[in-house]
A and B are shown apart, each in its own frame.
Chain A
Amino acid sequence: MGATELLQFALAGLKNGSIYALVALGFTLVYAATGVINFAQGEFYMLGGMLSVWAYAGLGLPLPLAGLVGVVSTAAIGVIFELLAIRQRKDGDPLALIIITVGGSMVLSSMARHLFGPNERPLPLFSGGGSVSVFGAVLEVQTIWIIGMTAIAVACLWYLYNRTGLGRAMRACAVNRDAARIVGIDTRLMVTVSFLLAAGLGALAGLAVTPLTQTAFDVGPTVGIKGFAAAILGGLGNPIAAVVGGLVLGMLESVSIAFISSTYKDAIALVVLLAVLFVRPQGLLGRSRREKV
């Protein structure tokens, strides 16, 4: 296998990895705020694509505006989901909340099926079907969009998390929720914000990918599992780790296609998930044990 082919696989891995990174960020942000895995995260990805298609094809909006509508309305759905389903469970029992997210996932995909039908829906490429050559490898323009949008979203999130009072409060919640409450942080608001961000990031991924793959009401769970595996791989609760986990998972999938067979591509995420849980449950970047303070 030549260098050009390897580069081609690496670019594909980077593209898929970016998507996984965005979905993994959603998992990790909600986990940091609540201690719960949100199994509806994949549906936010699905809604981002479906609502953008609806705004573009149904409402006839121009593509950039339709994409914005898709992402913002999905973020709003994330907030509504938190207020109606998560917040109602006053004791915050993690097991109950996880089951609520599983139920929420089913509700969201069923609603999408009823509202938008069972068929695959397309979206045009953001800026035409061109491609550029990178050292002989073909890089589609839409892939540049995907990687670029991910990079910008990650940079914005990094800024929010590390340079603003809101981000500091979110990190404080992730460290110790009771401590956050006694310094005056409204931890319930932080949970709502985490769902807003998680839904928005998931939607962004769904929007960016739809021109290449089309979308449908049932695309959520597959991507959800991959994003979850990526978040676990990096180390749950740490946004940087989620991005690293997403990119590593994307690369691993590409490597498996290159050296084994594309048949097993979708199994890689599960293998990685199990391997991490067996060997290094805290993830690549996780601390082995939270220090007690």
Chain B
Amino acid sequence: MSYEPRIVLSVEGVHAGYGHVSVVRGIDLRVAEGELVTLIGANGAGKSTLLKTIVGLVSPTAGTIHFLEQDITRMRPDRAVRAGLALVPEGRMLFGPMTVEENLELGAHARDRSDSAEDLKRVFDLFPVLQERRSQTAATLSGGEQQMLAVARALMARPRLLLLDEPSLGLAPKVIKEIFAALDRLKAEGLTILLVEQDARLALKHADRGYVMRTGSIALAGNAADLLADDDVRLIYLGAWHGEGESS
């Protein structure tokens, strides 16, 4: 630890929820430049809500979020995208009746599009199948292709930080492999990534560091390799983490 890399994202004491239901309860989290950090935890732990809070789809009730030294707490999503964030959302949220190419062009909506041809080339290089399908509507793609399109659309914004929400959900192992290979490549190119995953083993294998989230708070944090070897994490991964005696 000779030098301290630049912190890209810093989440401090963030609480958030829907109506009177609080889902995220005091989260502290940091992502440094070039890191792939994963946020793992069971269904309903609040992982997706935290990502939505970071991009501004959900307003935090307390805490602060800084992105590249800029305070983005409660910033509208379109502004957050302009600031350099891009989200690959849960359920992909593609524009179904529009073509693959239109979806990608929309990904570049937030910035000057004069050079979007170059970005199209980059994402087609990453996911060649999208080039074959470029004039098909997004709704006609397979689940795996849709996930690739969701990742590609986010990349079109040229983000400084890519947020992914469960990119492996509901996909065949072969497709998951392809998508995670793409993430590895993006990381190697220097992109900073925050990955939310239910498949903890998969996520930790590709990540530098991990946070384990449980009922709205961070239960554990550490290097991916350490977490992978951690008995408690194995237990959650197997769905056996619990505490009957605990109340929350």
Give min CB distance, A283 to chain B, whole Å: 15
A183 to B113, CA, bound (A): 13
Contacting pair B93 A178 (CB below 8 A): yes
B157, CB-defined interface residue at 8 Å: yes
A187 to B78, CA, bound (A): 8
Q: CB < 8 Å: which of A180, A181, A186, A291 contacts B96? A: A291
Chain A residues closer than 8 Å to B139, beta-carbon distance: 291, 293
Contacting pair A179 B105 (CB below 8 A): no
A168 to B95, CA, bound (A): 11
Contacting pair A184 B157 (CB below 8 A): yes
Within 8 A of A (CB), among B86-114: 86-87, 89, 92-98, 102, 105-107, 109-111, 113
Contacting pair A168 B105 (CB below 8 A): yes
A185 to B103, CA, bound (A): 13
A196, CB-defined interface residue at 8 Å: no
Query: Which partner residue on chain B sits nearest A189 by CB separation?
Result: B78
A179 to B109, CA, bound (A): 12
Chain B residues closer than 8 Å to A183, beta-carbon distance: 81, 106-107, 109-110, 153, 157
Contacting pair B57 A175 (CB below 8 A): no
B76, CB-defined interface residue at 8 Å: yes
Give min CB distance, A6 to chain B, whole Å: 38
B234, CB-defined interface residue at 8 Å: no
Q: CB < 8 Å: which of A165, A176, A186, A293 contacts B78? A: A186
Number of interface residues, chain B, beta carbon within 8 A: 31
Contacting pair A172 B98 (CB below 8 A): yes
Given contacts A182-B57, A293-B146, contact A176 B95 (CB under 8 A): yes
Q: CB < 8 Å: which of B78, B94, B97, B138 contacts A184? A: B78
A171, CB-defined interface residue at 8 Å: yes
Query: Which partner residue on chain A sits nearest B96 by CB separation?
Result: A293
Give min CB distance, A193 to chain B, whole Å: 14
Contacting pair A182 B102 (CB below 8 A): no
Contacting pair A175 B98 (CB below 8 A): yes
Give min CB distance, B72 to chain A, whole Å: 14
In the complex, number of A-B residue pairs with CB atoms less than 8 Å apart: 78
Q: CB < 8 Å: which of A179, A181, A292 contacts B76? A: A181
Given contacts A168-B102, A175-B98, A293-B138, contact A182 B109 (CB under 8 A): no
Chain B residues closer than 8 Å to A176, beta-carbon distance: 93, 95
Chain B residues closer than 8 Å to A168, beta-carbon distance: 98, 102, 105-106, 109
Contacting pair B57 A179 (CB below 8 A): no
Give min CB distance, B106 to chain A, whole Å: 5
Chain A interface, DSSP helix/strand/loop, else mixed: helix
A176 to B150, CA, bound (A): 14
Contacting pair A178 B109 (CB below 8 A): no
Contacting pair A179 B81 (CB below 8 A): no
A169, CB-defined interface residue at 8 Å: yes
Chain A residues closer than 8 Å to B92, beta-carbon distance: 293
Give min CB distance, B171 to chain A, whole Å: 15
Contacting pair A184 B110 (CB below 8 A): yes
B82, CB-defined interface residue at 8 Å: yes
Give min CB distance, B105 to chain A, whole Å: 7
Within 8 A of B (CB), among A65-107: none
Give min CB distance, B156 to chain A, whole Å: 8
Chain B residues closer than 8 Å to A293, beta-carbon distance: 92-96, 138-139, 146
Chain A residues closer than 8 Å to B76, beta-carbon distance: 181, 186
A133 to B95, CA, bound (A): 48
Within 8 A of B (CB), among A158-206: 165, 168-169, 171-172, 175-176, 178-187
A220 to B18, CA, bound (A): 40
Given contacts A168-B106, A172-B106, contact A179 B78 (CB under 8 A): no
Chain B residues closer than 8 Å to A175, beta-carbon distance: 95-98
Contacting pair B93 A182 (CB below 8 A): yes
Query: Which partner residue on chain A sits nearest B97 by CB separation?
Result: A175
Binding site for B on A (CB under 8 A): 165, 168-169, 171-172, 175-176, 178-187, 290-293
7 more A-B residue pairs beyond the given contacts A168-B109, A178-B57, A292-B96, with a C-beta to C-beta distance below 8 A: A168-B102, A169-B106, A171-B98, A175-B96, A175-B98, A178-B89, A187-B78
Minimum-distance CB pairs A-B, first 4: A184-B110, A184-B81, A293-B96, A179-B93
